[in-house]
Structure 1
Amino acid sequence: MLALLFLFLLFLSPPPILSVNQEGLYLLRFKHGLSDPNQSLSSWNDNDETPCNWFGISCETPALPRVTSVNLTGLELAGPFSSSICRLPFLSFLSLNNNSINTSIPADISDCQRLQHLDLAQNFLSGSIPDSLSEIPYLRYLDLSGNSITGGIPASFGKFRHLENLILLDNFLNGTIPRELGNISSLREFHLAYNPLSPGPLPSELGNLTNLEVLWLTGCNLVGQIPASLGRLTRLQNLDLSINRLSGSIPSSLTGLKDIIQIEFYNNSLSGKLPPGLSNLTTLRRFDASMNQLTGTIPSELCELPLGSLNLFENRFEGTLPESIARSPNLYELKLFNNKLSGELPRELGKNSPLESLDISYNAFYGGIPETLCEKGKLQDLILIYNSFSGKIPTSLGKCQSLRRVRLRNNKLSGTVPEKFWGLPHVYLFELAENSFSGPISGKISGAYNLSNLLISNNQFSGSMPHELGHLGNLDEFSGNDNKLTGQIPASFVKLGQLSKLDLSDNELSGEIPLSGKIPSQIGSLSGLNYLDLSSNAFSGKIPLELQNLKLNVLNLSNNQLSGELPALYANENYRDSFVGNPGLCGDLPDLCPRVSTGKNLGYLWILRSIFILAAIVFLVGVVGFYWKYRTFKKNKKGIGMSKWRSFHKLSFSEFEISGCLNEDSVIGIGASGKVYKVALSNGEEVAVKKLWKGTRKDDSSDELGKFEVEVETLGKIRHKNIVRLLCCCNSGDCKLLVYEFMPNGSLGDLLHSNKRSLLNWPRRYKIALDAAEGLSYLHNDCVPPIVHRDVKSNNILLDSEFGAKVADFGVAKVANGVSKGVETMSAIAGSCGYIAPEYGYTLRVNEKSDTYSFGVVILELVTGRLPVDPEFGEKDLVKWVCTTLDQKATADHVIDPILDPKHKEEIERVLEIGLLCTSPLPINRPPMRKVVKLLQEAGPDNKSRSARKDGKLSPYYYEDGSVQRKEDGSGQASIV
């Protein structure tokens, strides 16, 4: 009976409450110290008996539920790193890669005694590396890259006995490389690149690391010579000592690196000759000793290797290119530009190898171009500019369908260009300028449907221009000046909607109706044209009024046979030089064309009459001006004085008109630095006026006013077609005004994120991106001193009547910082929300690469049509949303603006890739704006580029086939990396 009662009571009692084991409690404590915006760790709770089924957690076996691995990579976790996780007694793998951990590495991390793999890369870690890390006895993999760690590399690291991967690149480490690292005999990879170390030598003790496979020390401030002891690293595959200050000769001992695949020595101060014995390096695919001070010749034995890439440009080599280089079976890229090489190219170059890129610019090569360059049908880039090549272009190149860039400028080439060579389907840059070519432009050029730049100036081309030129819908620039072209401009030119530059000066062009020897009136329909030079020809007839429809930066119609009156837009002194040398051309410009005289007395009478009329005008203007000045002065006693105005362009209005028009009805925008007004002037012109916010009394000090004057004077000197012009400014202490040209289509941001978005089709968006990139590139590279915009965003990119883009508000954030310190907005500091580069949050450093990041966000806006910060993204911004979507969906269809025409998808995807490159988390990986311009120019239809990837073993960057990507080309521009 008692047994039955016990069983009954047991049945009625509640089941026992299960709780997670001790390891789970340690993990929960670790979780509670972190911010988890995406709820990635939502499965971590105390309802499970063990944490083995939690996200990111792995256990030894089901039978032994002991936690051995914690992998929380890329979850956007934030907060401190807690060493409580080291209480897991069997933990061997820990990865927090690509999160936002923002404290220093705790000293008690050594409690993780069983840890073999520790990855804390791509976080916001600061402070120094604790010495105690070396007390983790079984550690094999340590990655602290992409943080803000300072201090030196602990000498205690020499105590590691099992460490195989030591990855510390892209931090702020200082000090020098400790020689004790030579004691880590197990080390296979050592990555220290891009750290601002103190100037110091490369320790010879590293030659003891006989298991080393990768030594990546780019940009580590190394000085002195390359140790000969590195020749003992017989397992080394990648040796990268580029961008340092190493000197002396290349040790001959390096020829013993029997497994070497890549050697990078570029951008040092190495001297002497290349060492003998390079033929021993039978596995070598890439050798780059560019930008040094090497002398002598290229050893023939080097050319006998099956090289994937040979780059020796910008050295001081002298001598010829050996014939044996043509026998290299795997040679696909040969770049030897910027040297003093001479002689003829090997006659069989390209015959036995799938040559893709040949760039030997800026040397002294002579002789003919080899017939075999495209024997394998792979050649894409043929760049021979600034040499002394002679003879004809081989007919075999007319069959080279793979060509994309042809640059033969400044040689001694002659003869007719092969017909098929004109019509290569994938060529987008065709440059034959400054040679002695003759004959006509072939009608076969219609086959070059990708052609963007046709540069054939300074030759002896003759005959009429074929009407097929009008079929080149992507043509942006046609420079055919200084030739012997005859006939008329083909009527088909009006179809060239993308044409921005047309230079046909110094030819023999003329003709009859339908153009009647005239400049065709239809030329006014080329809305993108901003450079037109038809000077020194034989054009006749009147200047078509349609030219006034163009937004021309350059117009030159001088030295022709034009007649009639000037179009009203051009009938002023600013365009005098554009029309001189046309005997029958008349207008309101004195002496532009001959005047008919009726006698000497009549001439005197005319002169006297003119004097009296001029005197009367001056008097009236003086009276009116005095009255206006007095009235304005009375109206604005405490306002703006004449002495406070500064003009940067020739103005057609009085500055005093501005102050009377600044009323609230004319406000068109309010920003962090002030209000913007649209002002309609009495002469019919419209300008935009920014009135900066008033500051404190300290801001009005003479020092601050002087700073304002200096900075604004710098901005006023800027002249670029993609920069909004600063016309004049006023600084009266109480009031600071900036007067800009007015942009009728407003800002890109307002148009792109409104119901007018449909006006921005893809060709317009692409042109806007390119225009803005060129403007920023000008600020970064061509201004002295360089100007960092600091607030690049779509609202600061303004659009003219033809949707041409101009960058605005450059430098004003800096000016505003001096006059509105009380305004606590990100725009007044260094950017706007959603556009700020990630490094600003922990370094407070803003430079050109910060602008590049912000511009990348603008590209993503153009591609997606979305705002940089949108509630739909949750805690993400546009950059993270695009990256996450692409990772999850594996296709760009889910991020491209759905209103864009699908026929442009390929081009849109290439521009999207550029935007992602610009928004790289690491500043070092972002291209300069000059390169961004080049990439956008090359992102035309069907211009497919090979994608680069970062390889864990053979850093830094490789193609999918394992070959290395070049960082520069003959134009001096950095390539995408």
Structure 2
Amino acid sequence: MSLLPLFFLFTVLLLQNHFFISALNQDGLYLYQWKQSLDDPDSSLASWNNRDTTPCNWAGVTCGPNSSAVTSLDLSNFNVAGPFSANFLCRLPNLTSIILFNNSINQTLPLQISLCTPLLHLDLSQNLLTGTLPHTLPLLPSLRYLDLTGNNFSGPIPPSFGTFQNLQTLSLVFNLLDDVFPPSLFNITSLKTLNLSYNPFHPSPIPHSIGNLTNLETLWLSACNLEGPIPDSVGNLKNLRVLDLTFNNLYGPIPSSLTRVTTLKQIELYNNSLSGELPRGISNLTSLRLFDVSMNHLSGSIPDELCRLPLESLNLYENGFTGELPPSIADSPNLYELRLFGNKLTGSLPDSLGKSGPLRWLDVSTNRFSGGIPASLCDHGELEEMLMLGNQFSGEIPASLGSCRSLTRVRLGKNRLSGEVPAGMWGLPHVYFLELMSNSFSGSIARTIGGARNLSSLILTKNNFSGVIPEEIGWLENLQEFSGGDNRLSGSLPGSIVNLGQLGTLDLHNNMLSGELPKEIQSWKKLNDLNLANNVIGGEIPDGIGSLTVLNFLDLSNNQFSGNVPTALQNLKLNQLNLSYNRLSGKLPPLLAKDMYRASFIGNPGLCGDFKGLCDGKNGDKGKGFVWILRAIFIVATLVFVVGVVWFYLRYKNFKNAERSVDKSKWTLMSFHKLGFSEDEILNCLDEDNVIGSGSSGKVYKVVLTSGEVVAVKKIWGGVKKEIESGDVERGQFHQDSAFDAEVETLGKIRHKNIVKLWCCCTTRDSKLLVYEYMPNGSLGDLLHSNKGGLLDWPTRYKIAVDAAEGLSYLHHDCVPSIVHRDVKSNNILLDGDFGARVADFGVAKVVDATGKGTKSMSVIAGSCGYIAPEYAYTLRVNEKSDIYSFGVVVLELVTGRRPIDPDFGEKDLVMWACTTLDQKGVEHVIDSRLDSCFKEEICKVLNIGLMCTSPLPINRPAMRRVVKMLQEVGTENLTKAAKKEGKLSPYYYDDGSDHGSLA
């Protein structure tokens, strides 16, 4: 009888649970079942429960106005992962809209998606879908909007796509679609938006049938590998508003039929090989706001009718335009951007330019313009960039520009300008780059320069500036370059100049400067170039000059320096040294008293050194006996010293052997591979003579084993390491345990040909060792940015990029759970004897597990300057997109040969510099000049991939698996032949022959 109440209670609970499940309507059941197959680390679907009667109040779910039937599903940015399940979603009979934008929907898109027959809107953009596009998609009879942007779809676009009945928007941007450009798409006459950009299609022409799309409003085919002419049939697109065919290989003229499309608001054709003149009749495009045909081979004059259009942005740079700029350009009321640089334009700029429209960016550099600078350029107070260098402009700078506080960048170099610079212009608060070189400016540097607190580059070379350098120059705490050579500056250097802690270049040669060098010269810690030649500066050369560790160029010749040459000067690694024609005296420091430096010291009659003929015979035979006494004393002292050293060494060796015999028993060895050595071999070689590197987490030793094999041993710092490696920005104290545990936890499980192999680890209570495979060619960063960078030809660099990408792709996509490296940089990519690349240094790596722990905010930033993704710096969120950005910076390093942070960039980093230079000067100024031009096409493609990876928006960065695919696609036949010829394309495997690796 006592069991009856329990049985009754169990029955009630069972019925209650059944009631809750059965109470949910059928649409809710399908959605709830789909939820069970998804990972939801942020609990975005927490409201999806089986105790509701309908799903109409669930997050992202919308029901009909008069029913509980689901009509729309919008899970944008929910951070859910898992498959798209047609078995559940396509059973919702009234579902017309599915939006899963920016999630991790993976696997393939099933053919059964054709069962979602009511669908009008399908947005699966920015996910991880793979495989081919389902050929069944056109079976959705009502579908109007299809967006699959930013996935990993590959293969051809199915021919069946040409049979869509009502489709208005088709976007397949940033996938891996290949094969020929699909002509069947131009049968979808209902299309209003067609966007296929950034897919690696085979080289294909634009089909003439494009003219069938008479309802088209937006056509975006950027970077689709298109070639050949633009067909005349584009003139049939009578409703077209946006035309973007950029970054292709199109050639021939711009078709005149385009002028019939009067609805056009935006034409972008830049980065092609178009030629000929701009088509006549362009004035028909009365709605045109943006016209960009830069970086082509266009010629002829700029038609007046173009300049009479209501343009907001006109970009015609890097073509072959000639003649004068039509005055009507100044009448455009909306013009805010005008870029004409790199042409052959003549005449003067219209006097009223900038008066009618809010001009913001003006670049007319490297043309043949003459006349004066229009005073009206900043009438609307919005002018930011004024780039006019390399022309024949004359006259004075208008006084009105001295009050243009919006200016950030001014380049007026290499013209015929004269007169005094307006006082206000020296102190504009937002200008970071002011270049006035190679003109005939006169007057002095105004004291108002103290207000230019943002100034990083001041270039005044080759003018007639005179007077003293004002004390206020020392207020410019961001100044990195001050070049004022070939002027008439006088007086001494202001004492405040030592406050310029960011100064990298100080070049004031060929002036009339006097006085002495400031004694606190050691405060210029970043000074790389010091040129004060041909002045009348006197006094002694300060000893502090020897502490300028990055100084590379030093020229103090033709001055009146006196006294000794500082001994500390021989500690510097100078590429050029010139102290000639001064009044220096005394004995030269021994490392400088060499024939190779002879020309550096001529014209100093008081100097004495070991040069041939210098100081010989000055004392004759006088004092020879005294010299012999000194020699005898020296010999005796040397013998005593040698005996003492030998005795001390023997005692020390016995002590160390005794110490090791005690310590070795305390070491614990943990191996991750079959070893051919013991910990004793490792411990016996940890001497300072074997140190090959030192970083934020410890020292690295090269150890040659008795078998002849070489390994690298990292000794993790004991206790807390407070001094962070130069360039690293992880704030706070770096604990040895976290670095060691991260490396062991990560590398102990990984087996991949492009991840550095961890042989074993050794630990005691006070010390920890990690034993890796040895990389004979060191790190990519050290090699690329040293004088050995020339060893890295393009096939080698390309192979390094592919190897590193495959290693990171393995971490992100093949490890379960995924691993985020968090410190991807060129110094953490190691190179074996065949220049095969390995990703290394996992001291700050994080696991991204299914519970979302790997994606939480970190308490500190991990990474290195120049490599940190913009969003990571302020959100501290750890994810794979951060690694992708850092890898993109490495790709830009390989293409440009430049460091991620460089004084030449001013306030920019490598990413900003590459984008700006590419936009303003062209790709030739971005690519490393040491690379063979025959690989230009392949280099440009890899550059494009690097720019994609460094997109400021994480959502626009391709996944690493896609990056690998894109890089592999770059391997053209010519590149392969060249690489094979040098024996650098053969894959590098571990000794077990594995190709892809797996978790242990």
* TM-score (norm: length of structure 2): 0.68
Q: CA deviation at 1:320?
A: 1.9
Maintained 8 Å contact 1:79/1:100: yes
Q: Structure 1 residues 860 and 96, CA, compared in 2 at 3 Å: closer, same or farther?
A: closer
User: Aligned-residue CA RMSD in angstroms?
Assistant: 5.3
Secondary structure in structure 2 of the residue aligned to 1:414: strand
Q: Are 2:594 and 1:594 aligned?
A: no
The residue aligned with 2:527 is 529
The residue aligned with 1:543 is 541
The residue aligned with 1:554 is 553
The residue aligned with 1:286 is 290
Maintained 8 Å contact 2:96/2:118: yes
> Residue 28 of structure 2: which of 12, 19, 24 is its match?
24
Q: Deviations over 1:744-775 (max 9, x none)?
A: 93336987343499xxxxxxxxxxxxxx9999
Q: CA deviation at 1:469?
A: 1.6
Secondary structure in structure 1 of the residue aligned to 2:203: coil
Maintained 8 Å contact 1:261/1:285: yes
Alpha-carbon distance between aligned partners in 1 of 2:452 and 2:112, rounded to the nearest angstrom: 66
Alpha-carbon distance between aligned partners in 2 of 1:148 and 1:780, rounded to the nearest angstrom: 40
Aligned pairs for 1:925-936 (under 5 A) are: none
Maintained 8 Å contact 2:703/2:710: no
Identity %: 41
Alpha-carbon distance between aligned partners in 2 of 1:333 and 1:834, rounded to the nearest angstrom: 46
Aligned pairs for 1:369-768 (under 5 A) are: 369-510=373-514, 517-551=515-549, 552-571=551-570, 577-589=577-589, 590=593, 592=601, 593-594=604-605, 602-603=619-620, 690-691=700-701, 733-735=709-711, 745-747=723-725, 752-755=730-733
Q: Deviations over 1:172-222 (max 9, x none)?
A: 101223322222121110110000001111122121111111100000011
The residue aligned with 2:996 is none
Maintained 8 Å contact 2:241/2:266: yes
The residue aligned with 1:650 is none
Q: Deviations over 1:768-801 (max 9, x none)?
A: xxxx9999996999864375685999xxxxxxxx
Q: Deviations over 1:152-173 (max 9, x none)?
A: 1122122112111100010010
> Residue 969 of structure 1: which of 910, 917, 920 is its match?
920
Alpha-carbon distance between aligned partners in 1 of 2:542 and 2:793, rounded to the nearest angstrom: 42
Q: Deviations over 1:565-590 (max 9, x none)?
A: 22221157966934222133433255
Q: Structure 1 residues 599 and 265, CA, compared in 2 at 3 Å: closer, same or farther?
A: closer
> Residue 79 of structure 2: which of 76, 81, 87 is its match?
76
Secondary structure in structure 1 of the residue aligned to 2:919: coil
Maintained 8 Å contact 1:917/1:927: no
Q: Deviations over 1:357-396 (max 9, x none)?
A: 1101122222222222222222111101122222222222
Q: CA deviation at 1:299?
A: 1.0
Structure 1 residue identity aligned to 2:920: D
Alpha-carbon distance between aligned partners in 1 of 2:788 and 2:115, rounded to the nearest angstrom: 51
Q: Deviations over 1:446-477 (max 9, x none)?
A: 23222221111121211211222222232222
Maintained 8 Å contact 2:545/2:569: no
Alpha-carbon distance between aligned partners in 1 of 2:274 and 2:362, rounded to the nearest angstrom: 25
Worse overlay, 566-575 or 165-174: 566-575
Q: CA deviation at 1:664?
A: 10
The residue aligned with 1:197 is 201
Structure 2 residue identity aligned to 1:260: L
Alpha-carbon distance between aligned partners in 2 of 1:390 and 1:615, rounded to the nearest angstrom: 76
Alpha-carbon distance between aligned partners in 2 of 1:361 and 1:606, rounded to the nearest angstrom: 71
Q: CA deviation at 1:27?
A: 1.8
* TM-score (norm: length of structure 1): 0.69
Q: Structure 1 residues 472 and 127, CA, compared in 2 at 3 Å: closer, same or farther?
A: same
The residue aligned with 1:271 is 275
Q: Are 2:840 and 1:827 aligned?
A: yes
Q: CA deviation at 1:853?
A: 11
The residue aligned with 2:760 is none
Q: Deviations over 1:602-633 (max 9, x none)?
A: 458899999999999999999999x999x99x
Structure 1 residue identity aligned to 2:248: N
Gaps of 5+ in 2: 1-11, 609-613, 654-659, 674-678, 716-720, 736-778, 809-822, 855-861, 927-946, 953-1000
Maintained 8 Å contact 1:773/1:933: no
Structure 2 residue identity aligned to 1:291: M
The residue aligned with 2:814 is none
Structure 1 residue identity aligned to 2:580: V
Q: Deviations over 1:915-945 (max 9, x none)?
A: 9987999x99x999979759996769xxxx9
Alpha-carbon distance between aligned partners in 2 of 1:458 and 1:118, rounded to the nearest angstrom: 63
Maintained 8 Å contact 1:543/1:566: yes
Maintained 8 Å contact 2:138/2:165: no
Q: Deviations over 1:484-537 (max 9, x none)?
A: 111111112233333332222221111xxxxxx221213333444343222221
Alpha-carbon distance between aligned partners in 2 of 1:564 and 1:463, rounded to the nearest angstrom: 28
Alpha-carbon distance between aligned partners in 2 of 1:619 and 1:270, rounded to the nearest angstrom: 84
Alpha-carbon distance between aligned partners in 1 of 2:231 and 2:843, rounded to the nearest angstrom: 44
Secondary structure in structure 2 of the residue aligned to 1:79: strand
Alpha-carbon distance between aligned partners in 1 of 2:528 and 2:869, rounded to the nearest angstrom: 25
Maintained 8 Å contact 1:571/1:587: no
Q: CA deviation at 1:556?
A: 2.5
Q: Are 2:321 and 1:320 aligned?
A: no
> Residue 785 of structure 1: which of 771, 776, 793 is its match?
793
Maintained 8 Å contact 2:783/2:789: no
Secondary structure in structure 1 of the residue aligned to 2:125: coil
Secondary structure in structure 2 of the residue aligned to 1:17: helix
Maintained 8 Å contact 2:412/2:436: yes
Q: Deviations over 1:529-570 (max 9, x none)?
A: 343222221111112223334333333222211111222211
Alpha-carbon distance between aligned partners in 2 of 1:579 and 1:324, rounded to the nearest angstrom: 57
Q: Structure 1 residues 678 and 693, CA, compared in 2 at 3 Å: closer, same or farther?
A: closer
The residue aligned with 1:152 is 156
Maintained 8 Å contact 1:776/1:929: no
The residue aligned with 1:883 is none
Alpha-carbon distance between aligned partners in 1 of 2:588 and 2:408, rounded to the nearest angstrom: 49
The residue aligned with 2:718 is none
Alpha-carbon distance between aligned partners in 2 of 1:395 and 1:521, rounded to the nearest angstrom: 39
Q: CA deviation at 1:594?
A: 2.9
Alpha-carbon distance between aligned partners in 1 of 2:472 and 2:141, rounded to the nearest angstrom: 74
Q: CA deviation at 1:300?
A: 1.2
Alpha-carbon distance between aligned partners in 2 of 1:664 and 1:782, rounded to the nearest angstrom: 42
Q: Structure 1 residues 682 and 282, CA, compared in 2 at 3 Å: closer, same or farther?
A: closer
Gaps of 5+ in 1: 1-11, 511-516, 637-659, 701-731, 758-771, 794-806, 842-850, 870-876, 881-914, 946-956, 958-964
The residue aligned with 1:253 is 257
Alpha-carbon distance between aligned partners in 2 of 1:344 and 1:585, rounded to the nearest angstrom: 57
Q: Structure 1 residues 931 and 215, CA, compared in 2 at 3 Å: closer, same or farther?
A: farther
Q: Structure 1 residues 746 and 242, CA, compared in 2 at 3 Å: closer, same or farther?
A: same
The residue aligned with 1:226 is 230
Secondary structure in structure 2 of the residue aligned to 1:52: coil
Structure 1 residue identity aligned to 2:919: E
Q: Structure 1 residues 621 and 66, CA, compared in 2 at 3 Å: closer, same or farther?
A: farther
Q: Structure 1 residues 404 and 251, CA, compared in 2 at 3 Å: closer, same or farther?
A: same
> Residue 357 of structure 1: which of 333, 356, 361 is its match?
361
Q: CA deviation at 1:418?
A: 2.2
Maintained 8 Å contact 2:198/2:224: yes
The residue aligned with 1:810 is 826
